[in-house]
Amino acid sequence: MRFHVLTIFPGMFDSPFAEGVVHRGIDAGLIELHVHDIRDYTHDRHRSTDDYTFGGGPGMLMKPEPLFEGVESIRAKHDTPENAPVILLTPQGERLKQPLVEKFAGEDDLILICGRYEGFDERVRENLATHEISIGDYVLNGGEAAAIVLVEAVARLVPGVVGSDESTRNDSFTTGVLQHPQYTRPADFRGMTVPKVLLSGDHARIEQWRRRASLRRTLQRRPDLLEDAELSREDREFLDSLKEEGHQ
């Protein structure tokens, strides 16, 4: 899978991917990360990527020309499919959630555009981007941190990048609910003990405990997720019993 990022700060992508899981995926040839400087697609002496806003107002806007040219150049140079997603990082976009991350992980190429200043000329949204994505309801100084989040979330779903596919399958959101609490050694740490069932070796009971702990946690913290989660009859009965008890 190939990620192509357009940014005016290419150096911001060095350190986040110099270590860790994504770095290993790149080393193993499972992922490619191509970071492109938007200034390389400017033609004026100052290599300007921004300009003032028509109609007045504070701040500057990302100009359309270098962004269109940048995407066209990436498409030509890397022979990306014509329908490869062109993702504009913007606080006004669709909120990034796991189902969308999974959809992006099914693509061969993703082109990401990082904004700066007051954002983008509207024609970039209308005629270049295929997706507008926000990583949350807050405003960052630029799209780089958001692009790093998106690359990290998508890359870990590329087969082989995370050591065991099972660990990504059991993650929060992937299963539609939050993951159950987990413990490691020691079994007794300063008198704080691990639930006995987890030490029992009884896999059926452990599975039941985990499922119930996961449902309880989701009901407490993110009841909205339960509306779309795949729930068995047993799950529903357990949730009903929790609700009757008042969420214990």
For the bound state, the minimum distance from the C-beta of residue 178 to ligand SAM, rounded and expressed in Å, comes to: 22
Q: Is 91 in the site for ligand SAM (CB under 6 A)?
A: yes
User: Judged by CB under 6 A, which of 81, 106, 136, 159 binds ligand SAM?
Assistant: 136
For the bound state, the minimum distance from the C-beta of residue 116 to ligand SAM, rounded and expressed in Å, comes to: 6
User: What are the strands of the beta sheet with 32-37, ordered from one edge?
Assistant: 32-37, 2-7, 109-113, 86-95, 131-134
For the bound state, the minimum distance from the C-beta of residue 66 to ligand SAM, rounded and expressed in Å, comes to: 14
Buried/exposed 152-180: b ≥16 CB within 10 Å, e otherwise: ebbbbbbeebbeeeeebeeebbbbbbbbb
Do 5 and 140 touch, CB atoms closer than 8 A? no
Residues 49-68 interacting with ligand SAM (rule: CB under 6 A): none
Contacts made by residues 239-248, CB under 8 angstroms, sequence distance 24+: 239/215, 242/215, 242/216, 243/219, 247/219, 247/220, 248/216
User: Judged by CB under 6 A, which of 69, 118, 171, 235 binds ligand SAM?
Assistant: 118
Which single residue brings its beta carbon nearest to ligand SAM?
115
Hey, what amino acid is at 196? K
DSSP code of 11?
Answer: G
For the bound state, the minimum distance from the C-beta of residue 96 to ligand SAM, rounded and expressed in Å, comes to: 8
Between CA 127 and CA 63 the distance in angstroms is 13
Q: Which positions are annotated as active-site residues? A: 91, 118, 156, 171
User: Judged by CB under 6 A, which of 92, 193, 200, 220 binds ligand SAM?
Assistant: 92
**String of contacts with ligand SAM for each residue 15-54, x by CB under 6 A:** ----------------------------------------
Q: Give the interface size with ligand SAM as a residue count (CB under 6 A).
A: 20
Q: Is 91 helix (H, G, I), strand (E, B) or coil?
A: strand
Task: Give 153 or 215: the residue with its C-beta nearer to ligand SAM.
Answer: 153
User: Judged by CB under 6 A, which of 1, 67, 114, 162 binds ligand SAM?
Assistant: 114
Task: Give 140 or 198: the residue with its C-beta nearer to ligand SAM.
Answer: 140
Q: Is 131 in the site for ligand SAM (CB under 6 A)?
A: no
Q: Is 85 in the site for ligand SAM (CB under 6 A)?
A: no
Residues 180-239 interacting with ligand SAM (rule: CB under 6 A): none
Between CA 159 and CA 164 the distance in angstroms is 9
State how beta strands 188-189 and 192-193 pair. Answer: antiparallel
Percent helix, strand, coil in the chain, to 5, is 40, 15, 40
CA-wise closest residue to 64 among 130, 9, 115 = 115
Q: Is 242 in the site for ligand SAM (CB under 6 A)?
A: no
User: Which residues contact ligand SAM by CB under 6 A?
Assistant: 89-92, 114-116, 118-120, 134-136, 138-143, 146
